[in-house]
Structure 1
């Protein structure tokens, strides 16, 4: 009997998307053979998947925008088509908008079923002819794919409206796996309170108001940052550090760089006390359930500080997993952090409650179960 095979394709570094790591690890554990074909990524090139005997990963180097990138994309397409013919997977797992033209063509290959997983919902119009071509292919792929996956219900509804597809759409939150839940107690450093942020380091998610708030707080409250700068915000880490130095708190801000694997990232996260998951204004696409940050923090035993947006308060604050603040208001940020510093026992309890929620429900094994049963 032929062994189950699934080919993951994405025109970026697949390790930049935790759900791809989670789903592939779950399937590999059950005996599936997994092949990833991707590229490098600016800022996120260092990210890697953990090794597994059933998972093979091939990537071609990242290419900057311009005419060379168009040739690069064509080369990538041919690489995908040849690999499908040679490796003969039963399933293709396609991720995000740039892969849609290739994935749509693959739906016509015999004996191949295609899944489309949209991590980031695109705008429906663009000035770019190429992006508009990808958007048209997205609609066609929505009709031809076996089924589609999106990371929260609002995006599911939006996708169904935009594509008018009659195919099944699964809502799968970007949760960690159960094995990623830390067994290390938070709040072990009684003399210090460490705030933690990880992800893409951009002003909309780690605003300078956090640094300004730190300057108003006692010296034992510190901030540790992990992640990478995006193409649009090169040098932002240095801007944060320069501001901290100017305000006399440079020694209380630590940038630890990019961890190549999630296990290293979460280990460092678990040594801190409070997780920051902020957006300075309502986002163009709904983020609750789609943002992996709060789930990762809770898995490590960290209670949350989230933006005072209605959906974030409903999901994380009213349920007792964190507090909310206005990330554009320095005093609001100060007040929220101060509450945690003055209530260590309550903070520890909130973190433990969050970990249990991850183990019981907010884990990728639970979220992915319905999808796995379709394969």
Structure 2
């Protein structure tokens, strides 16, 4: 007997969203998957055999797409909806991500031969609606009007869920599925003792993710320059040309060029190796928008550090303290204050035995509670029930 099919929609390259990739891997054990995304940037992930991947549209980079005219973006979106509705005709459930993907799913459902439940998983939030002169403006308003039509709404953080509920007509209780890593992907090293000793002897500050002022890129480098230690700094992730130039000048200004490395953007599977060698991981966001504050369980890098047993410094926001205050491997710092970061680092590196205990505690926390298998389990059970009885 063949498995039932689930359609998964994201109006982007799904490879770039670890929680989406994790969900696909867990769902593919129980269902065949029709995965629909945009033909955008390089494909970096290999999916299970029963996942059929459709990357719609002409291949372009993210930068090229941003330069398209409003008319071109509209036609691309319409064509995406038409092709997606054809691919989804035999699925038993649609699992849609973010505003553009959910709006596609809602429109597509009208063209399907049978009623299909939709689950809406919203990663991102916008404090203001985009202008009606843009496609985003129309899609934002459609999402607000139709958000309550999903059989279930999913968010990665409770504060984000509350934010959306206050600004829409969503009355149903949402489900919170934090952006934790997949346990099966993050295998532990064979020799923790040797690895931790190597970290201690070769101190490395590590940041993975989008690099900008809002992620305290300059403050992290400044903190390293203030410490009376030889410290290497390694950044990996998306970096705009303007931010790259700004960061380069700042590194040179502090005479830290020989200690700083930018590793570029790496496929997700290649990030584990440099993370394992990090002494301290950084998950700092500045309070520039609500989504940066409402990120305690949505910031996947924090828990990727935990998966690699790396002590982590996060922003000293009440939302983060509420969620992580009892974690012995976490320290808090003001992302706008390099001296605050220095104090957090000094605490982490004050004693080798203490540092070793923090590393092991981080990995234990990941294995016991901060993994996607555990976080996704309630949603997986709901999907199984919906596919059997989609009413």
Give the TM-score, by structure 1 length. 0.90
Q: Find the aligned partners of 1:334 and 1:270 in 2 and give their Cα distance.
A: 22
> In the TM superposition, what is the alpha-carbon distance from 1:124 to its structure 2 partner?
4.5
Aligned residue among 267, 278, 285 for 1:279: 285
> In the TM superposition, what is the alpha-carbon distance from 1:111 to its structure 2 partner?
3.6
Alpha carbons of structure 1 residues 70 and 234: separation in structure 2 relative to 1, 3 Å: farther
Deviates more, 1:301-310 or 1:183-192: 183-192
Q: Find the aligned partners of 2:257 and 2:43 in 1 and give their Cα distance.
A: 27
> In the TM superposition, what is the alpha-carbon distance from 1:329 to its structure 2 partner?
1.4
The 5 Å alignment of 1:172-183 reads 172-183=177-188
Q: Find the aligned partners of 1:94 and 1:364 in 2 and give their Cα distance.
A: 18
CA RMSD of aligned residues (A): 2.0
User: Does 1:263 find its partner at 2:269?
Assistant: yes
What secondary structure sits across from 2:382 in the alignment? coil
User: Does 1:187 find its partner at 2:191?
Assistant: no
The 5 Å alignment of 1:1-375 reads 1-30=1-30, 32-41=31-40, 45-46=41-42, 48-59=44-55, 60=57, 61-62=59-60, 63-64=65-66, 65-66=68-69, 67-85=71-89, 88-108=90-110, 109=112, 110-129=114-133, 130-184=135-189, 185=192, 186-189=195-198, 190-229=200-239, 233-260=240-267, 262-281=268-287, 283-285=289-291, 286-375=294-383
Q: Which runs of 5+ in 1 are unaligned?
A: none
User: Equivalent residue for 2:388?
Assistant: none
Q: Find the aligned partners of 1:18 and 1:170 in 2 and give their Cα distance.
A: 19
Q: Find the aligned partners of 1:82 and 1:56 in 2 and give their Cα distance.
A: 14
CA contact (8 A) 1:95 1:118 kept: yes
Write the deviation string for residues 151-177 of structure 1: whole angstroms up to 9, x where unpaired: 111222232333323445211000011
CA contact (8 A) 1:181 1:358 kept: no
> In the TM superposition, what is the alpha-carbon distance from 1:116 to its structure 2 partner?
0.7
CA contact (8 A) 1:199 1:228 kept: yes
CA contact (8 A) 1:207 1:327 kept: no
Q: Find the aligned partners of 1:317 and 1:273 in 2 and give their Cα distance.
A: 21
What secondary structure sits across from 1:56 in the alignment? strand
> In the TM superposition, what is the alpha-carbon distance from 1:71 to its structure 2 partner?
2.1
Deviates more, 1:201-210 or 1:154-163: 154-163
CA contact (8 A) 2:12 2:38 kept: yes
> In the TM superposition, what is the alpha-carbon distance from 1:150 to its structure 2 partner?
0.6
Q: Find the aligned partners of 1:167 and 1:334 in 2 and give their Cα distance.
A: 44
Aligned length: 365
User: Equivalent residue for 2:387?
Assistant: none
Q: Find the aligned partners of 1:238 and 1:317 in 2 and give their Cα distance.
A: 36
Write the deviation string for residues 126-165 of structure 1: whole angstroms up to 9, x where unpaired: 2234333212321343222121111111222232333323
Q: Find the aligned partners of 2:27 and 2:116 in 1 and give their Cα distance.
A: 18
What secondary structure sits across from 1:3 in the alignment? coil
Give the TM-score, by structure 2 length. 0.87
Q: Which runs of 5+ in 2 are unaligned?
A: 384-391
